[in-house]
Structure formats: structure tokens, C-alpha cells
């Protein structure tokens, strides 16, 4: 079983060099070496302020409330080919739609999609189920009003990190609570956390020991903030952790992750269970790459972007 082909294998030295060259600068930008306060709310606020320096908002974005939830929209010039429902990353404790303005604008222009990125509630001020409920509320509204308001009733759902988690969890609720999973054309799941009971890689048992922005202590912090007072077994409740859910009847999915990512096992295990349940899944594994690997320009990240764009083409039926 090969997780990447010879072409990707030949790109590994360049990828390792790119990570080595950029890792310290990215860590400095997000304040990874800063002394952190003990109070979880203050720690989350400090992390949010650090991450906000990485946002690159663009003027084309439209701020709009959907079903009472703040969202950030990109609209195509012509009739929408679909609605891309996007969830940002940030461990369920930080982040904002502006993080992905550049990528979401490109998706809207490239594929003629309306893009809706949700500014969902964050822990520890708003622990589970506040964030997922916000996201599900927007999804339900789009399924009911998307055709009339945005030009399409078809959804593609996606996100990165915690956003990848939400992009797996919300469609499960669409299937079970709305009986409308046939309206979801595909899921773009990028290095998400799918087992809140802490998979082996979350605990530090990774296949490669390269640098990563995540570590077991940080993962424990945002897990405790999002799911306070629960044991690991309780956090594996299928309503919380998609890896442990019934996955039958789900849409085609593209799942992407790097082998140095502390969430690598989450993607590998979910991809196998997704396929075993009879669903279509495409897996992109980036050897030697960490969490947030698209921040390190190299041939592997170029290959991932090309694969992602090709997947969108297929899902949209172009």
C-alpha cells in the first residue's frame, strides 16, 4: 500500500528544505515561543491576537449574517456552480474566515462557486456544541435558501484543521437530521481532527519526527477547552468525533494530510473507514510535511493544489 507515488517521493528533499527554511519564521509569527498565561480564556485570547497577524483580508469579501451567524462571502460573476461552505481552522479556540480569504476568493473565481465561510463560536468561552451548532445552522439555511439567495442549492463542504473536523461533522448531521445528504456534492477535508479521544499521532506517535506547529501539549489544551470535563472515551462519542460515526452514505471526499502532522492518524484512519463504508475517497499524503503544509511553498504543495483543483473539477462535473 503506497501512500504517494514516485513523483512525490522525488520531491521530498525539496519539501524538507522548504519546511526547515520557513518553520522558525512561521513559529515566530504565531507566537509559538511566547510565555502562555495559565487561564484558558486569556491563553486563547493571546493566541487569537497572534494568529490575527497572519490574516490577509481582501476587499472582494462580503460580510453577511446567515441565520443569525456572521459569515464571509465571495460571489461569482455569473450563476453559481455550487455553494462552497467553508469552515476555518484554529483548534476550535481561534481563527476567523479572513484566514482563508485568498484561497476562498480563488475558489470562487476559478470554479464559479459562491463561497460562504462561517465565523462560528469559539471555545473556551463557547465549548461544544456551540461551534458545530453555528455551522449546522448555516448549512441548513443554505440548503433551504441557497438556490434563491445565492444561485445554487448544491453544497460542497470543506475546511482545514478544526475546519476539516467541522466539514466532516456537519454533513453527518445533514444526513441524519435533515435527510439531505444528496444535496452535498463533496467534502474537502484538509488535515482535520476527527478523533477527539486523541489518536496515536495526537499523542506524539508520528511516522516522521519533523517539525510541526502542533504538539501533544497544545492539542490537549484545545481539546480541554473545547470538550471540558469529558474523558477520552466520552470524547469519542460519534456526535463529537466523526472517526467513530456511522459513515455509510456519505459524499465523495478528498482528504489531505502531511506525515509530520500530529493529526496524520486522524486522516489515515478516517479515509480507510470512509472507503470501507462504500464511499468514494481520494487521499493526498504529503511526506515530511507538517500541519498547515500549504504555508511551505514547494513542489509537493504545488502537487496538492493541482490535485485539489482537479478534485473540484470532477465534483462539479466539469
| Domain edges within the chain | 6-315
Contact call for residues 187 and 201 (beta carbons, < 8 A): no
Predicted local distance difference test score (pLDDT) of residue 25: 86
pTM of the model: 0.97
Predicted local distance difference test score (pLDDT) of residue 58: 97
Contact call for residues 71 and 62 (beta carbons, < 8 A): no
Give the residue ranges of the chain where pLDDT is below 70.
31-33
Predicted local distance difference test score (pLDDT) of residue 186: 98
Query: 6-315: which CATH architecture?
Result: 3-Layer(aba) Sandwich (3.40)
In the numeric block, which cell numbers belong to residue 246? 456511522
SS3 of 273, please?
Answer: helix
Predicted local distance difference test score (pLDDT) of residue 35: 78
Predicted local distance difference test score (pLDDT) of residue 122: 98
Task: Report how far apart the first and last C-alpha atoms of the chain are (Å, whole number).
Answer: 30
Predicted local distance difference test score (pLDDT) of residue 27: 80
Q: How many of the other CB atoms lie within 10 Å of CB of 11?
A: 21
Prior bond of 124 cis (ω within 30°): yes
In the numeric block, which cell numbers belong to residue 252? 465523495
Amino acid at each position: 500500500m503506497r501512500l504517494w507515488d514516485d513523483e512525490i517521493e522525488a520531491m521530498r528533499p525539496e519539501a524538507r528544505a522548504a519546511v526547515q527554511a520557513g518553520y522558525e519564521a512561521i513559529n515566530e509569527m504565531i507566537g509559538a515561543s511566547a510565555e502562555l498565561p495559565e487561564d484558558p480564556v486569556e491563553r486563547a485570547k493571546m493566541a487569537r491576537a497572534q494568529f490575527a497577524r497572519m490574516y490577509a483580508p481582501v476587499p472582494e469579501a462580503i460580510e453577511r449574517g446567515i441565520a443569525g451567524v456572521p459569515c464571509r462571502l465571495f460571489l461569482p460573476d455569473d450563476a453559481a456552480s455550487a455553494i462552497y461552505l467553508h469552515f476555518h481552522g484554529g483548534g476550535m479556540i481561534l481563527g476567523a474566515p479572513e484566514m482563508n480569504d485568498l484561497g476562498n476568493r480563488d475558489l470562487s473565481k476559478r470554479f464559479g462557486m459562491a463561497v460562504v465561510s462561517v465565523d462560528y463560536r469559539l471555545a473556551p468561552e463557547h465549548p461544544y456544541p456551540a461551534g458545530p451548532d453555528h455551522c449546522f445552522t448555516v448549512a441548513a439555511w443554505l440548503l433551504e435558501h441557497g438556490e434563491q439567495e445565492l444561485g445554487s442549492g448544491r453544497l460542497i463542504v470543506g475546511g482545514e484543521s478544526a475546519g476539516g473536523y467541522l466539514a466532516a461533522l456537519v454533513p453527518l448531521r445533514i444526513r441524519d437530521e435533515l435527510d439531505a445528504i444528496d444535496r452535498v456534492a463533496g467534502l474537502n477535508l484538509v488535515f482535520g481532527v476527527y478523533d477527539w479521544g486523541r489518536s496515536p499521532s495526537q499523542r506524539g506517535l508520528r511516522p516522521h519526527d519533523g517539525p510541526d506547529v502542533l504538539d501533544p501539549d497544545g492539542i490537549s489544551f484545545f481539546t480541554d477547552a473545547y470538550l471540558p470535563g469529558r474523558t477520552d472515551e466520552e470524547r469519542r462519542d460519534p456526535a463529537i468525533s466523526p472517526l467513530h460515526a456511522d459513515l455509510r452514505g456519505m459524499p465523495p471526499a478528498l482528504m489531505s494530510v502531511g506525515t509530520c502532522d500530529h493529526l496524520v492518524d486522524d486522516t489515515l484512519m478516517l479515509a480507510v473507514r470512509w472507503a470501507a463504508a462504500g464511499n468514494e475517497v481520494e487521499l493526498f499524503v504529503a511526506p515530511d510535511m507538517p500541519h498547515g503544509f500549504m504555508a511551505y511553498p514547494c513542489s509537493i504543495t504545488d502537487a496538492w493544489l493541482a490535485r485539489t483543483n482537479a478534485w473540484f473539477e470532477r465534483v462539479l462535473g466539469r
